[in-house]
A and B are shown apart, each in its own frame.
Chain A
Amino acid sequence: MMGAILLRGAAFALVWWMLAEGRADSWGVGMVSVAAAVSASLYLSPPGAGRLSLAGLPGFAGFFLMQSFRGGAQVAAQAFRPRIDLAPALLELPVTLPEGPPRALLVNTLNLLPRIGNPTRRVGLSSTLAAPVNRRFRARKPRKPPVSRLLYRLSPGQVPLAATFRATGACHPMTSDGLSLT
Protein backbone atom coordinates (compact mmCIF):
# COMPACT_ATOMS: atom_id res chain seq x y z
CA MET A 1 0.00 0.00 0.00
CA MET A 2 2.76 2.40 1.00
CA GLY A 3 4.69 1.47 -2.12
CA ALA A 4 1.68 2.11 -4.31
CA ILE A 5 1.11 5.53 -2.73
CA LEU A 6 4.73 6.54 -3.24
CA LEU A 7 4.81 5.28 -6.82
CA ARG A 8 1.58 6.97 -7.80
CA GLY A 9 2.51 10.11 -5.95
CA ALA A 10 5.77 10.27 -7.89
CA ALA A 11 3.96 9.68 -11.17
CA PHE A 12 1.37 12.39 -10.52
CA ALA A 13 4.07 14.78 -9.31
CA LEU A 14 5.84 14.23 -12.61
CA VAL A 15 2.62 15.02 -14.47
CA TRP A 16 2.17 18.17 -12.40
CA TRP A 17 5.72 19.23 -13.12
CA MET A 18 4.94 18.91 -16.84
CA LEU A 19 1.62 20.74 -16.55
CA ALA A 20 3.19 23.62 -14.65
CA GLU A 21 6.07 23.62 -17.12
CA GLY A 22 8.57 23.38 -14.32
CA ARG A 23 7.55 26.52 -12.41
CA ALA A 24 8.59 26.25 -8.80
CA ASP A 25 5.93 28.61 -7.40
CA SER A 26 3.11 26.29 -8.42
CA TRP A 27 3.95 23.49 -6.03
CA GLY A 28 1.52 24.66 -3.36
CA VAL A 29 -1.44 23.92 -5.58
CA GLY A 30 0.56 21.05 -7.03
CA MET A 31 0.90 19.14 -3.76
CA VAL A 32 -2.83 19.41 -3.11
CA SER A 33 -3.58 18.24 -6.65
CA VAL A 34 -1.17 15.33 -6.40
CA ALA A 35 -2.66 14.25 -3.10
CA ALA A 36 -6.16 14.43 -4.56
CA ALA A 37 -5.08 12.49 -7.63
CA VAL A 38 -3.45 9.78 -5.54
CA SER A 39 -6.51 9.29 -3.37
CA ALA A 40 -8.79 9.25 -6.41
CA SER A 41 -6.62 6.65 -8.09
CA LEU A 42 -6.49 4.52 -4.94
CA TYR A 43 -10.27 4.63 -4.82
CA LEU A 44 -10.85 3.91 -8.52
CA SER A 45 -8.09 1.38 -8.97
CA PRO A 46 -7.00 -0.20 -5.69
CA PRO A 47 -3.45 -1.52 -5.61
CA GLY A 48 -2.74 -5.20 -5.67
CA ALA A 49 -4.03 -7.88 -7.98
CA GLY A 50 -1.12 -7.06 -10.29
CA ARG A 51 -2.63 -4.67 -12.75
CA LEU A 52 0.15 -3.75 -15.00
CA SER A 53 3.46 -5.31 -15.70
CA LEU A 54 5.96 -2.46 -15.49
CA ALA A 55 8.65 -4.68 -16.93
CA GLY A 56 6.52 -5.37 -19.99
CA LEU A 57 5.57 -1.75 -20.50
CA PRO A 58 8.54 -0.54 -22.59
CA GLY A 59 8.21 -3.48 -24.95
CA PHE A 60 4.51 -2.88 -25.32
CA ALA A 61 5.05 0.84 -25.86
CA GLY A 62 7.53 0.14 -28.63
CA PHE A 63 5.20 -2.35 -30.25
CA PHE A 64 2.32 0.10 -29.97
CA LEU A 65 4.25 2.98 -31.52
CA MET A 66 5.47 0.81 -34.36
CA GLN A 67 2.02 -0.53 -35.11
CA SER A 68 0.43 2.90 -34.83
CA PHE A 69 2.79 4.16 -37.44
CA ARG A 70 2.14 1.28 -39.77
CA GLY A 71 -1.59 1.51 -39.24
CA GLY A 72 -1.71 5.24 -39.89
CA ALA A 73 0.46 4.95 -42.97
CA GLN A 74 -1.74 2.19 -44.38
CA VAL A 75 -4.96 4.07 -43.87
CA ALA A 76 -3.44 7.22 -45.32
CA ALA A 77 -2.25 5.35 -48.40
CA GLN A 78 -5.66 3.79 -48.78
CA ALA A 79 -7.41 7.15 -48.52
CA PHE A 80 -5.43 8.57 -51.41
CA ARG A 81 -5.85 5.56 -53.65
CA PRO A 82 -7.72 6.51 -56.83
CA ARG A 83 -10.22 3.72 -56.42
CA ILE A 84 -11.49 2.78 -52.99
CA ASP A 85 -11.81 -0.96 -52.92
CA LEU A 86 -12.33 -1.65 -49.30
CA ALA A 87 -14.43 -4.55 -48.20
CA PRO A 88 -14.90 -4.22 -44.48
CA ALA A 89 -16.24 -7.10 -42.49
CA LEU A 90 -16.86 -7.92 -38.89
CA LEU A 91 -14.72 -10.49 -37.27
CA GLU A 92 -15.83 -12.02 -34.03
CA LEU A 93 -12.95 -12.74 -31.78
CA PRO A 94 -13.58 -14.73 -28.67
CA VAL A 95 -11.44 -13.55 -25.83
CA THR A 96 -11.05 -14.73 -22.30
CA LEU A 97 -9.45 -11.61 -21.00
CA PRO A 98 -11.27 -10.47 -17.90
CA GLU A 99 -13.75 -7.64 -18.18
CA GLY A 100 -12.54 -4.24 -17.22
CA PRO A 101 -9.16 -2.64 -17.81
CA PRO A 102 -7.45 -5.57 -19.56
CA ARG A 103 -10.20 -5.86 -22.13
CA ALA A 104 -10.46 -2.10 -22.57
CA LEU A 105 -6.75 -1.99 -23.25
CA LEU A 106 -7.06 -4.72 -25.83
CA VAL A 107 -9.96 -3.06 -27.63
CA ASN A 108 -8.32 0.32 -27.63
CA THR A 109 -5.07 -1.07 -28.91
CA LEU A 110 -6.86 -2.98 -31.64
CA ASN A 111 -8.13 0.36 -32.86
CA LEU A 112 -4.64 1.29 -33.87
CA LEU A 113 -3.43 -1.91 -35.35
CA PRO A 114 -2.72 -2.05 -39.03
CA ARG A 115 -4.26 -4.54 -41.40
CA ILE A 116 -5.43 -7.60 -39.66
CA GLY A 117 -5.66 -10.60 -41.83
CA ASN A 118 -3.85 -11.29 -44.97
CA PRO A 119 -1.99 -9.65 -47.81
CA THR A 120 -3.98 -7.81 -50.41
CA ARG A 121 -6.33 -5.17 -49.11
CA ARG A 122 -6.61 -3.91 -45.67
CA VAL A 123 -9.34 -2.23 -43.78
CA GLY A 124 -10.29 -2.17 -40.28
CA LEU A 125 -12.62 -1.37 -37.59
CA SER A 126 -13.11 -2.58 -34.19
CA SER A 127 -16.32 -2.81 -32.39
CA THR A 128 -17.43 -5.75 -30.34
CA LEU A 129 -13.89 -6.89 -30.51
CA ALA A 130 -14.35 -7.04 -34.19
CA ALA A 131 -11.36 -6.83 -36.38
CA PRO A 132 -10.91 -6.03 -40.00
CA VAL A 133 -10.62 -8.64 -42.66
CA ASN A 134 -9.79 -8.55 -46.29
CA ARG A 135 -11.59 -8.97 -49.51
CA ARG A 136 -9.53 -11.73 -51.00
CA PHE A 137 -9.05 -14.46 -48.50
CA ARG A 138 -7.09 -17.00 -50.31
CA ALA A 139 -3.93 -17.35 -48.38
CA ARG A 140 -3.33 -20.95 -47.54
CA LYS A 141 -0.86 -20.26 -44.84
CA PRO A 142 -2.07 -17.31 -42.89
CA ARG A 143 0.68 -15.35 -41.37
CA LYS A 144 0.30 -14.45 -37.80
CA PRO A 145 -1.60 -11.19 -37.91
CA PRO A 146 -0.85 -8.29 -35.61
CA VAL A 147 -3.86 -9.04 -33.45
CA SER A 148 -2.42 -12.33 -32.32
CA ARG A 149 0.92 -10.75 -31.68
CA LEU A 150 -0.86 -8.20 -29.59
CA LEU A 151 -2.61 -10.86 -27.58
CA TYR A 152 0.67 -12.61 -27.08
CA ARG A 153 2.07 -9.39 -25.80
CA LEU A 154 -0.74 -8.85 -23.41
CA SER A 155 -0.92 -12.38 -22.15
CA PRO A 156 2.46 -13.26 -20.71
CA GLY A 157 2.39 -10.54 -18.09
CA GLN A 158 0.01 -10.39 -15.24
CA VAL A 159 -2.97 -10.01 -17.46
CA PRO A 160 -4.28 -13.53 -17.60
CA LEU A 161 -5.22 -14.70 -21.02
CA ALA A 162 -6.30 -18.23 -20.35
CA ALA A 163 -6.03 -19.10 -23.93
CA THR A 164 -3.49 -20.22 -26.39
CA PHE A 165 -3.36 -19.42 -30.00
CA ARG A 166 -3.30 -21.73 -32.85
CA ALA A 167 -3.31 -20.84 -36.46
CA THR A 168 -6.05 -22.54 -38.37
CA GLY A 169 -5.78 -23.42 -41.99
CA ALA A 170 -8.82 -21.56 -43.17
CA CYS A 171 -9.60 -17.92 -43.31
CA HIS A 172 -13.16 -16.85 -43.63
CA PRO A 173 -14.52 -13.41 -43.31
CA MET A 174 -17.13 -13.31 -40.60
CA THR A 175 -15.83 -16.35 -38.82
CA SER A 176 -12.18 -16.42 -38.19
CA ASP A 177 -9.12 -14.66 -39.32
CA GLY A 178 -6.70 -17.50 -39.51
CA LEU A 179 -6.44 -17.62 -35.82
CA SER A 180 -8.63 -18.93 -33.17
CA LEU A 181 -8.68 -18.88 -29.47
CA THR A 182 -9.10 -22.18 -27.80
Chain B
Amino acid sequence: MTLLEALSALLLLSGAGFYLAGTVGLLRFPDVYTRLHALTKADNLGLGLLALGLSLQADSLAAGLKILLVWPLVLVASAAVSFAIARRAHELGIAPAGADSQRRESRAGDRRDGA
Protein backbone atom coordinates (compact mmCIF):
# COMPACT_ATOMS: atom_id res chain seq x y z
CA MET B 1 0.00 0.00 0.00
CA THR B 2 1.50 3.27 -1.03
CA LEU B 3 1.41 6.36 1.08
CA LEU B 4 -1.15 7.88 -1.25
CA GLU B 5 -3.45 4.88 -0.92
CA ALA B 6 -3.11 4.93 2.84
CA LEU B 7 -3.98 8.61 2.96
CA SER B 8 -6.92 7.99 0.67
CA ALA B 9 -8.18 5.16 2.88
CA LEU B 10 -7.84 7.34 5.95
CA LEU B 11 -9.83 10.14 4.34
CA LEU B 12 -12.53 7.73 3.14
CA LEU B 13 -12.87 6.16 6.57
CA SER B 14 -13.14 9.47 8.37
CA GLY B 15 -15.63 10.67 5.76
CA ALA B 16 -17.75 7.60 6.44
CA GLY B 17 -17.45 8.34 10.16
CA PHE B 18 -18.90 11.80 9.69
CA TYR B 19 -21.77 10.38 7.64
CA LEU B 20 -22.49 7.98 10.46
CA ALA B 21 -22.38 10.87 12.95
CA GLY B 22 -24.75 12.89 10.80
CA THR B 23 -27.23 10.03 10.71
CA VAL B 24 -26.95 9.40 14.43
CA GLY B 25 -27.54 13.10 14.99
CA LEU B 26 -30.54 13.04 12.70
CA LEU B 27 -32.05 10.30 14.82
CA ARG B 28 -31.08 11.63 18.23
CA PHE B 29 -31.28 15.41 18.06
CA PRO B 30 -34.41 16.95 19.58
CA ASP B 31 -35.97 19.11 16.87
CA VAL B 32 -36.04 19.87 13.19
CA TYR B 33 -33.49 22.65 13.43
CA THR B 34 -30.82 20.68 15.19
CA ARG B 35 -31.48 17.67 12.96
CA LEU B 36 -30.90 19.81 9.92
CA HIS B 37 -27.75 20.87 11.57
CA ALA B 38 -26.54 17.30 11.92
CA LEU B 39 -27.24 16.71 8.26
CA THR B 40 -25.74 19.84 6.81
CA LYS B 41 -22.62 20.03 8.88
CA ALA B 42 -21.58 16.47 9.53
CA ASP B 43 -22.59 15.16 6.13
CA ASN B 44 -21.01 18.01 4.24
CA LEU B 45 -17.75 17.50 6.01
CA GLY B 46 -18.07 13.77 5.39
CA LEU B 47 -18.67 14.38 1.72
CA GLY B 48 -15.67 16.68 1.51
CA LEU B 49 -13.44 14.02 3.01
CA LEU B 50 -14.86 11.31 0.75
CA ALA B 51 -14.36 13.45 -2.34
CA LEU B 52 -10.81 14.25 -1.32
CA GLY B 53 -10.06 10.61 -0.59
CA LEU B 54 -11.50 9.43 -3.90
CA SER B 55 -9.76 12.14 -5.90
CA LEU B 56 -6.43 10.84 -4.66
CA GLN B 57 -7.18 7.57 -6.46
CA ALA B 58 -8.26 9.24 -9.71
CA ASP B 59 -6.52 8.32 -12.95
CA SER B 60 -5.88 11.84 -14.12
CA LEU B 61 -5.76 15.36 -12.77
CA ALA B 62 -8.96 16.27 -14.60
CA ALA B 63 -10.78 13.25 -13.19
CA GLY B 64 -9.58 14.08 -9.68
CA LEU B 65 -10.72 17.69 -9.95
CA LYS B 66 -14.05 16.50 -11.29
CA ILE B 67 -14.63 14.47 -8.15
CA LEU B 68 -13.61 17.46 -6.01
CA LEU B 69 -16.04 19.65 -7.94
CA VAL B 70 -18.90 17.56 -6.56
CA TRP B 71 -18.29 18.92 -3.10
CA PRO B 72 -18.98 22.66 -3.59
CA LEU B 73 -21.97 21.85 -5.80
CA VAL B 74 -23.54 19.65 -3.14
CA LEU B 75 -22.66 22.24 -0.49
CA VAL B 76 -24.63 24.90 -2.31
CA ALA B 77 -27.57 22.57 -2.84
CA SER B 78 -27.75 21.25 0.70
CA ALA B 79 -27.28 24.65 2.31
CA ALA B 80 -30.13 26.02 0.20
CA VAL B 81 -32.39 23.04 0.91
CA SER B 82 -31.79 23.05 4.64
CA PHE B 83 -32.38 26.77 4.75
CA ALA B 84 -35.68 26.33 2.96
CA ILE B 85 -36.77 23.58 5.36
CA ALA B 86 -35.75 25.58 8.42
CA ARG B 87 -37.51 28.68 7.18
CA ARG B 88 -40.68 26.76 6.50
CA ALA B 89 -40.57 25.20 9.96
CA HIS B 90 -40.08 28.65 11.42
CA GLU B 91 -43.02 30.05 9.48
CA LEU B 92 -45.19 27.21 10.71
CA GLY B 93 -44.38 28.32 14.23
CA ILE B 94 -42.36 25.29 15.21
CA ALA B 95 -40.35 26.34 18.21
CA PRO B 96 -36.91 24.98 18.97
CA ALA B 97 -37.00 22.17 21.49
CA GLY B 98 -37.25 23.36 25.09
CA ALA B 99 -37.40 27.05 24.22
CA ASP B 100 -39.49 28.01 27.28
CA SER B 101 -37.47 26.28 29.94
CA GLN B 102 -34.39 27.73 28.40
CA ARG B 103 -35.57 31.29 28.84
CA ARG B 104 -36.37 30.71 32.50
CA GLU B 105 -33.02 29.13 33.17
CA SER B 106 -31.28 31.96 31.48
CA ARG B 107 -32.94 34.55 33.65
CA ALA B 108 -32.10 32.56 36.77
CA GLY B 109 -28.54 32.47 35.59
CA ASP B 110 -28.46 36.22 35.17
CA ARG B 111 -29.65 36.77 38.71
CA ARG B 112 -27.00 34.50 40.08
CA ASP B 113 -24.39 36.37 38.19
CA GLY B 114 -25.58 39.72 39.43
CA ALA B 115 -25.54 38.66 43.07
- Bound-state CA distance A68–B45 (Å) is 7
Q: Does B22 contact A (CB under 8 A)?
A: yes
Q: Does A43 contact B (CB under 8 A)?
A: no
- Bound-state CA distance A69–B30 (Å) is 23
Whether A78 lies near B96 (C-beta < 8 A) is: no
Q: How many residues of A contact B (CB 8 A)?
A: 48
Whether B30 lies near A22 (C-beta < 8 A) is: no
Tell me the smallest distance from the CB of A135 to a CB of chain B, in Å.
6
Tell me the smallest distance from the CB of A37 to a CB of chain B, in Å.
14
Whether A22 lies near B86 (C-beta < 8 A) is: no
Whether A127 lies near B24 (C-beta < 8 A) is: no
- Bound-state CA distance A111–B36 (Å) is 9
Of the listed stretches A1-9, A11-19, A50-58, chain B binds A11-19
Tell me the smallest distance from the CB of B9 to a CB of chain A, in Å.
19
Whether A18 lies near B66 (C-beta < 8 A) is: yes
* Inter-chain CB contacts under 8 Å: number: 145
Contact among A69, A78, A90 with B25 in the assembled complex (CB-CB below 8 Å): A78
Residues of A with C-beta under 8 A to B86:
125-127, 130
- Bound-state CA distance A76–B18 (Å) is 6
Known: A19-B66, A125-B36, A125-B37. A108 touches B83 (CB 8 A): yes
Q: Does B8 contact A (CB under 8 A)?
A: no
Interface size band for B: 35 or more
Binary CB contact string for chain A from 57 to 95 against chain B (1 if under 8 A, 0 otherwise): 000000000001101111111111000101111100000
Query: B residues touching A (Cβ–Cβ < 8 Å)?
Result: 17-18, 21-22, 24-25, 28-31, 33-34, 36-38, 40-42, 44-46, 48, 60-63, 65-66, 69, 75-76, 79-80, 82-83, 86-87, 89-90, 96-99, 102-103, 105-106, 109-110, 112-113
| 30 A–B pairs (Cβ distance < 8 Å), ordered by A | A21-B63, A22-B62, A73-B45, A76-B17, A76-B21, A79-B24, A80-B24, A84-B30, A86-B29, A86-B34, A87-B96, A87-B102, A88-B96, A88-B97, A88-B99, A90-B99, A104-B80, A107-B79, A109-B79, A111-B79, A112-B41, A112-B75, A124-B41, A125-B33, A125-B37, A125-B96, A130-B86, A136-B105, A137-B109, A138-B110
> What are the nearest 6 A-B pairs in CB distance?
A72-B45, A125-B33, A76-B21, A22-B62, A79-B25, A127-B86
